[in-house]
Amino acid sequence: MNRKASIIGGGVIGGGWAARFLLNGWDVSVFDPDPQAERKIHAVLANARLALPALSDVPMPPEGRLSFHGTIGEAVEGAEYVQESVSERIELKRSVYAQLQQANPGVLIGSSTSGFKASDLQQGAPAPHNIIVAHPFNPVYLLPLSEVSGSERNPPEVVERTVQIMKDIGMFPLVIRKEIDAFIGNRFLEAVWREALWMLKDGVATTSEIDEAIRMGFGLRWGQMGLFETYRVAGGEAGMRHFMAQFGPALKWPWTKLMDVPEFNDDLVNLVANQSDAQSGAYGIRELERIRDQNLVGFLRALKERNWGAGKVLRAHDEARAAAFHAQTDQGPKAAPLVMAHMQVLPGWIDYNGHMTESRYYFANSETIDAFLRLIGAGMDYVAAGHSYYSAETHIRHLGEARLGDRLVGTVQIISADEKRFRSFVRIMKGEECVATVEQLCLHVDMKAGKTVPAAPEVWARLKAIADAQAALPLPEGAGRAVGQKK
């Protein structure tokens, strides 16, 4: 049975939370009085389905069930967790909490508020200890940060539960050590925002020029190293102390206007809005969201490959889910093809026809055979010691089609084996349908000597046990076929 989260408020942020929970296998119930809420959330969810799976190298869990409800009480029934994302009006939020806690007294409530402290939100609540801040950043389904901020009324176990739920859906919970309005991220953004408005108002720069300064320069550094680590590197070999000595005096120079605020009036609004429309108006909002998501996926995947910054969160989430899929693979010999890999067709796997591209069938075979090699003790530790199985011949047959989101299983049947080689037959299954088969001959090689040699005794023993268990299986249909041979 799936875990359940309730989303109260289905705007951009609420829709992002709904997508994040749904695509991580939670059931999601939504309450929002806006008659357009269902349409808006489905639009956000469509973008999320294209983007979030592209960050993963492990199949996504089966998508949860999405439901919409006419009352808060109906939406929160049976929910383990509630994410409140209503408008930034303190009385409205308190009214929502009262209704939530009346309908589901023990439920944990996280608020998406951008600025209110938990102690402010908790005032007058029947169970203030179960209300906490979990502030995300847009798009919620891609960006991992969730600022978790409680008050003295929140016991440690409530904070810990919130942190664990955030981790369970692949987020990075940053616990704020001291209550402050707007937390950490928005405090920082507010300073940048105010300075940008002054430069705009004073005619120093346009909206486009300010954005270019960020995305062409320091924004790229911040995305991987943040502020202090960036400046530490700027200090050279002498590090942060040298940087502070060199640039610290600039703090006294009258560069910024952060202690002053431009008057918020129609002239300022029109100045910002007109330039912004000229800058980005060629694209619709949904199109801009998709462009943003594709760029974020590329950046985040690059960080993930290097296990750096936000990429560490993605890799850790993959590893946790990979362990669950590993438990569903075969762990020893049996008289049937061994289930070795669970995969899902990701956005980067498809071609211009919308089908899984040819190279990914070879990848699916590699994932399956790599898991088999680990099973017999010939994984990366074995390779590091100087021995490996090399592919000598490969023959693939395409029997069906796999499309975006399809779940695939790779099975292995050993047709023959001896101390120096094995012949495998991999089936790539989509449910009961075999979409491809890959027949392969692998040779055991001494990498330093560059020649075929017998496998280590313990590896050969495990391989032989599997080959013996499958020896009575019929030769697979298609085994030994030549390219172009008639059926």
**E-state strands within 359-432:** 387-398, 407-418, 421-430
Q: Quick one: average pLDDT of 358-384? A: 96
For residue 288, pLDDT beyond 90? no
Q: Compute the distance between CA of residue 231 and CA of residue 247 in angstroms, rounded to an integer.
A: 10
For residue 175, pLDDT beyond 70? yes
Based on the number of CB atoms within 10 Å of its own CB, is 38 exposed (0-12), middle (13-18) or buried (19 or more)? middle
Q: Compute the distance between CA of residue 148 and CA of residue 392 in angstroms, rounded to an integer.
A: 53
The answer to whether 111 and 133 are in contact (CB under 8 A) is yes
The answer to whether 463 and 389 are in contact (CB under 8 A) is no
The answer to whether 150 and 177 are in contact (CB under 8 A) is no
What are 254's two structure tokens?
A: 């009258």
Q: Compute the distance between CA of residue 133 and CA of residue 128 in angstroms, rounded to an integer.
A: 12
Q: Quick one: average pLDDT of 377-386? A: 96
Residue 378 half-sphere exposure, CB side, CA atoms within 13 Å? 27
pLDDT confidence of residue 261: 73
pLDDT one-digit tens code per residue, 203-260? 999 999 999 999 888 888 888 888 888 888 888 888 778 777 877 776 677 667 667 7
Query: Lowest-pLDDT range, 4-8, 90-94, 249-253, 450-454?
Result: 249-253
Residues of the chain with CATH 3.40.50.720: 4-183
pLDDT confidence of residue 460: 98
- Identify the top-confidence range among 5-14, 47-56, 259-268: 5-14
CATH class of 4-183: alpha beta
Find the largest Cα–Cα distance for the chain: 84
Q: What pTM was estimated for this model as a whole?
A: 0.82
pLDDT confidence of residue 172: 96
Q: What is the 3-state secondary structure (H, E, C) of 257-297?
A: CCCCCCCCCHHHHHHHHHHHHHHHCCCCHHHHHHHHHHHHH
pLDDT one-digit tens code per residue, 37-72? 999 999 999 999 989 999 998 889 999 999 999 999
Does domain 329-469 fall under CATH 3.10.129.10? My reply is yes
The answer to whether 97 and 108 are in contact (CB under 8 A) is no
pLDDT confidence of residue 173: 98
Residues of the chain with CATH 3.10.129.10: 329-469
Distance separating the N- and C-terminal Cα atoms of the chain: 45
pLDDT confidence of residue 254: 67
pLDDT confidence of residue 346: 86
226: left (phi over 0), alpha (psi -120 to 50) or beta: left
pLDDT one-digit tens code per residue, 385-406? 999 999 999 999 999 999 988 9
Query: What is the DSSP pairing of strand 338-344 with strand 172-175?
Result: unpaired
pLDDT confidence of residue 487: 67
